[in-house]
Structure 1
Amino acid sequence: MLEDLVDPALPMAEQNARLRAILAALMDRAERGQMPSRPMGQLSHVVALEQQVRARTRDLAETLDKLRMTHARLSQAERDAVSARNSLVDALEAMGEGFAMFDARDCLTLWNSQFCAALPDIRAQLSAGLPFRDYVRMVSDSDEIDLTTATERREWSLKRLQSHTRRNANFTVPLIGDHWLQVSEQRMISGGTAVIQTDVTAMVRTGRLEREKLLDEQAQMVRATLDHIDQAVLIFDAKARLAGWNRRLREVFAPPSALLASGTPFAQVLNDLMRRRQLGRGNIRQLLTDWVNGPAFRPSLALDIVQEDGTELHLSAQAMPDRGFVISFNDLTAERRAIAEMHRLNETLEARVQARTVELVAARDAAERANASKSRFVASASHDLLQPLNAAKLFLSSLAALKNTPTQTRLIDRVQSAFTSVEDILGALLDLSKFDIGAARARVDTVPLGPLFARLRDEFQPMADRRGLDLVVMPCALNVQSDPVYLKRILQNLVSNALRYTERGRVLLGARRCGPDLRLEVLDTGPGIPPDKQAEIFKEFTRLNPNAETGMGLGLAIVEQACALLEHPLSLRSRPGHGTVFSLRVPLAPDPVALPPQRPAPETQPGLLSDMLVLVIENDATSRRALMGKLEDWGASPIEAASLADARVQITELGLAPDVIMADHQLDGGATGLQAIAALRAEHGEIPAILVTADHGPALAEQAETAGVLLMTKPLALHRLRRVLQQTPQLRGAQIKHFTQATPGDHSFWLRPED
């Protein structure tokens, strides 16, 4: 159809003109076909077209503005890029070192005028896009590299390419004319490589001079060392010519000055020494000559020489790797004379040692006797000091039970508090004495922590309430292997110490598992212990705060020694102002065999001891009267006796065996309470018995346990004694037989668990 309208043979300009005419006719026809016939409609159509033209003109103007702004920004970015590149080039030129950059494809992209400046034949061949491998080949073939053979150049090229595979590489390239170039390669984040070349010729030459200077200084040091040693030294080179000597050689042999010259043959030196009889007599000349002429790796030679004046020399000849050798002479005269004198003195030393041994044995025997005397004194002091203290405590308890005025009650409380303090201090001193003399013995057994923690909570709760502190005792149903007496004493001292020094907050006692052990911890919120004082607090009579509550500073000393005795590691963690934690590790024990359930214990009511016959065997009249009075206050009917014979008389007169026996361990005439209890049981049956003693040692406790006797130490704990006596009626009859079947440490037949 188009061929019918436009003749293809016509010129292109005429064809375009015809097409434009046809297009204009078509557009006019189309507009006329859409235009309304009425004039008003035509006007509206013209207005709409004008608005569309204006909107499109406005959009076209905005687009042109944006295009101009974008073009301006693009031009600025190009200028900035050119400026940055120029700045980079200027910076690289200002470096003073050769710099080049290869891209991630290992092609050269950028370099400064200093790069390869030391290699002018390479500098002219650098061009953008040069591969790194070609660059290395060009450098290896350069005439400026100090590599002589083709093999050396090929090996250098391979090593250079191999080092290029690493992230960082540094090496030095030797140049002709004693010049050196250091090359450093750094891999960039983009994957390209930065190469820096630095001329280190001055540095290498300076280092070489320093090494030469160091060698000269070392030679001087060797010379100074030779001159300051006590041995006379001769040094010969591989041709047996004199190469060195020291000042001591002149002092020992006084050779002629002409002899001591570099290059003097060994034979000439040896002849001079033999001529002047400096090497003694014998075949020394032949021995030295044969050794010097021997093989290169000959063994050392050692000779003893005695000069005519009695001077003793030790000659030592040592070969060197370069076939040279060193001969030294050591003057042993003073040493040999000292040895002779030592032998002479040794002859009399044995007699002196024997005499001294006799003296030491006598001193040891005296020390053992003194130690035994000290042990007896401690035992005696325990009884003599605690006996009146126990009596006074009993009298005070009886006095407190009377009707007293408020003033009298306060006075009695203060006296009781004072006696309690004396009791604590005295107990601590006696414990320390046992540790000092080695009398302390541990009896390891299974200890359940539940009852022990409960007793400690009941014991220290009043003290915590009095100081306004929270005492937290975490429950624990586990058992440990330890001595029950010493373990309780350790925890008592730690809890008491924490309560004494803590002003506000809380004190916590608990246990944590630690592998096969259990870590017992006492934590407080007190002032803490400075690091420089943490070792000092375990010393005796040491208190960090003398203004705190009363005490002699013995508690932690006892804790440390008791832990060492029991092999329970003790540790301390503390920060000033953040409190303190004492902890000890105790081995866990298997769970004990379950005991048969016990009947509920009777309530503690006054008068429950009515009509109970208590036989009191006590040789000290004051203590006996005090205990009798206390028992009467509790409603019991005590019978007093000063000895076993008196007890038998009292029982015979009454015609009735006592309900319970309370016997002091130390009686008159060397008799003991255990003996008295055994005799009365043999005559009247298995009577419940309590042994009262001031001996806190484990030996007596073991004897009492074996005999089925409950042991209570002085001063007596009155509340515990009353609970024990209240349970005595339950033991009459068949139940008394249980004590013979009890396991060690098990007093369930005798006491409630909390006792």
Structure 2
Amino acid sequence: MKDGTALQGAPVHAVAEDTLHRVRVEQVRLLCGNLGSSVLPGILVALLVAYALRASAGLWPLLGWAGVVIASKLFDYADARRMLDMEITPANIGQVTRRLVVLHGIDGAAWGLLAPLALDTASPGGSILLIGVLAGVAGNSMSILSPVMPAFVSFCLVELGMLATSAWHTHENALQVLAVAALLYVASLLVQARNSARAARAAIMLRFENNALIERLQRESEKTQQALQQAEQANAAKSRFLAGASHDLRQPIHAQGLFLEVLSNTPLDPMQREVVGRLRSAADNCADMLHTLLDYSRIEAGVVTPQVAPFRVQALLHRISREMAAQAEAKGLVFRTRESQAVASADAGLTELILRNLVSNAIRYTEQGGILMACRHRGSQVWLEVWDTGIGIAPEQQQEIFREFHQLGNPERDHNKGMGLGLAIAEGLAKMQGLQLTVQSLPGRGSVFKLLLPAAVMPQKVPAPAPVALHKAQRDLHGLRILLIEDDQRVRDSMAQLLTQWGCQCVAVEGLDEAQTLAGTQEFDVVISDYRLRAHRNGTEAIAAVRQASQRHVGALLITGDTAPARLREASESGIPMLHKPVAPGQLWEALLRLAPGAQQAQPG
């Protein structure tokens, strides 16, 4: 049988012609497959009839008739098996059909011979038996031969025609009436055979349609699987590209930030200081974008572990308002918050990051009006809400906005409008904590984002730690002996200059082997290592080698520009404190203060 896929793209008449051919082939095969069930019963019936009518028509003539019927049956069966094994094509389907018509006409004649042989000499009981047998054989042949209607017509007309002719020539009224009845029976059988043929044809067509549907489903499933694999490969390629691009961008921006810090601590005239300030502002904007990518990568990597605890919502709202109100006011927007005494249970730091992303998104997409950040305490629930009077979001876009890199109204990909990761990060952090983040919006009227948290009771007031003063951090780091391992010369030089400016004794090396050699001959208080080193080595291995060479536990700090999820997981599992490039100088100072010998006694106040 031809594959259904071969029909695709063919002309309509060619498809119809091919389908018709396939149906005719299946009808022939159905007939040939049915013949086997009638061979043994036909042989037995022929022998029994010969035995029953032997007294009136003679045993030997009837045995000869039975032999002809049996031979016809066996030949038809053997020929049917041969047809099932052969390939039936459009070129020979007509010949096959004609062969079936002839063979079953002969078979009908073999059965019909019983009527002229025994009807006029049989007793009334014998006549009834003869007529019943021939009528039954004709009825049985309908179920077997009707798939190929011409073959059944040939059998039925020959067999019952011979019966009707023999009955008519007996000149007995009862048998002549029987002849007319035989003709009516032929008509009835033909009608039933036509209906049966239609049903068989419809069943075959339905099977073809089901097979074609299954094939289409299989093809679509294969296409879907291929598309899924391609999407997974594309997503993996995207992640690798982002990780590689992010790492390569972080290196010079990290070095730039450190050089700017060194420069800002030197004598500058007012104009130079203003230029340095502008450069630092541009570098901070780049760093913010890279840290947004980092937040998304950390969520993908699963290295963010929520630390759930009760916290006062007002303190969080106050910090965000104090830091982000200026951005709103710079655009001429009103920024307001509502006081709240609510206490919620969640990770305060991650919840703050969610709200910062929501507020930043509201400011970015609001051109007039204002922003409202509020908290509603309802029973066992706390709702943190960010309202804006911005462009709004169409209903069909209200789920799409949480996809990474999806932005509204930014076809030119203006980086001043962000990267399209803020809401994806917010939703990821919410799901990580089991919190619900929803949005309601009307285009042109604004939006409201709501974060649902469980309410809690504050066990006790924990005083906030005093901020680390910049100048005291410099004084506290004076004389700190630092081994710096960094394979990027720009980063190595900038960090070495900054650490030296802070009063540290810094030795900078390029790789693990040099660091291990120095650690065996000099004492260091802290080792700072980049995570990704040359020759497929990493900072965790370098720090372990330095500690082994020093034969003591040296304070350690990892600095990485990697955002690949696998790398982030590896670095996080090391248990060594880690900073992400570009590192703000204040972050580095605080980290070194915590690692410095006697840091607990030297905390600035």
TM-score (norm 2): 0.55
Give runs of aligned pairs for residues 340-739 of structure 1, distance below 5 A.
Answer: 341=208, 372-428=236-292, 443-446=305-308, 449=311, 456-457=320-321, 459-460=323-324, 463=327, 466=330, 470=335, 472=337, 474=339, 478=343, 480-481=345-346, 484-485=349-350, 487-501=351-365, 507-514=371-378, 516-524=380-388, 526-527=389-390, 529=392, 535=398, 540=405, 542-544=407-409, 550-552=416-418, 554-559=420-425, 561-562=427-428, 565-566=431-432, 567-574=434-441, 580-587=447-454, 603-605=469-471, 607-608=474-475, 609-653=477-521, 655-658=522-525, 660-682=526-548, 683-696=550-563, 707-729=574-596, 731=598
Q: CA deviation at 1:716?
A: 0.9
* Residue among 293, 303, 312 paired with 2:196: 312
CA-to-aligned-CA distance 1:240-269 (integer Å, 9 cap, x gap): xxxxxxxxxxxxxxxxxxxxxxxxxxxxxx
Unaligned runs of 5+ in 2: 1-179
* AA of the residue aligned to 1:312: S
Structure 1 CA distance, aligned partners of 2:597 and 2:368?
45
Q: Deviations over 1:17-41 (max 9, x none)?
A: xxxxxxxxxxxxxxxxxxxxxxxxx
For the 8 Å contact 2:482–2:524, the answer to whether it is kept is no
Among candidates 160, 168, 189, match of residue 280 of structure 1: 189
Aligned pair count reads 416
Cα distance in structure 2, aligned partners of 1:490 and 1:570: 10
Equivalent AA in structure 2 for residue 569 of structure 1: Q
CA shift, 1:444, in A, is 3.4
Contact 1:657 1:684 in 2 (8 A): no
Question: 3-state DSSP class of the match of 1:605?
Answer: helix
SS at match of 1:312: helix
Distance 2:438 2:222 in 1: 44
Q: How does 1:21-32 map to 2 (within 5 A)?
A: none
> How far off its partner does 1:620 sit?
0.9
**What is the 5 A alignment of 1:121-270?**
none
State how far apart, in whole Å, the 1-side matches of 2:512 and 2:341 are.
45
Task: Pick the aligned partner of 1:335 from 194, 202, 223.
Answer: 202
Deviation at 1:677, TM superposition (A): 2.4
Q: Which has the larger radius of gyration?
A: 1
Change (3 A) 1:707 1:441: closer
1:714 CA displacement: 1.3
Q: CA deviation at 1:533?
A: 8.5
Are the structure 2 counterparts of residues 467 and 728 from structure 1 closer, same or farther at C-alpha, using a change threshold of 3 Å? farther
Q: Shift of residue 674 of structure 1?
A: 2.0
Q: 1:503 to 1:332 in 2, by over 3 A?
A: closer
Q: Which amino acid letter does the alignment assign opposite residue 280 of structure 1?
A: L
Give the distance between the partners of 2:256 and 2:453, measured in 1 at CA: 38
Higher relative contact order (CA 8 A, sep 6+): 2
1:273 and 1:279 in contact (8 A); partners too: no
Aligned CA distance change for structure 1 residues 636 and 274 (closer, same or farther; 3 Å): farther
Q: Matched residues in 2 for 1:709 and 1:593: separation?
A: 31
C-alpha contact 1:398 1:629 (8 A) present in aligned 2: yes
Opposite residue 650 of structure 1, the aligned amino acid is: L
Distance 2:540 2:501 in 1: 27
| SS of aligned partner of 2:251 | helix
Secondary structure of the 1:668 match is: coil
C-alpha displacement of 1:396: 2.4
**Contact 1:528–1:574 under 8 Å retained in 2:** no
Contact 2:469 2:604 in 1 (8 A): no
CA RMSD of aligned residues (A): 4.9
Q: Distance in 2 between matches of 1:383 and 1:460?
A: 28
Structure with greater strand percent? 1
For 2:500 and 2:244, the matched residues in 1 are separated by 30
The match for 2:120 is none
Q: Which amino acid aligns with 1:406?
A: P
Give the 3 Å change call, closer, same or farther, for CA 570–349 of structure 1 in structure 2: closer
- C-alpha distance after superposition, 1:617-655 (max 9, x if no partner): 1111111111122223333332212223222333344x3
State the identity %: 28
SS at match of 2:453: strand
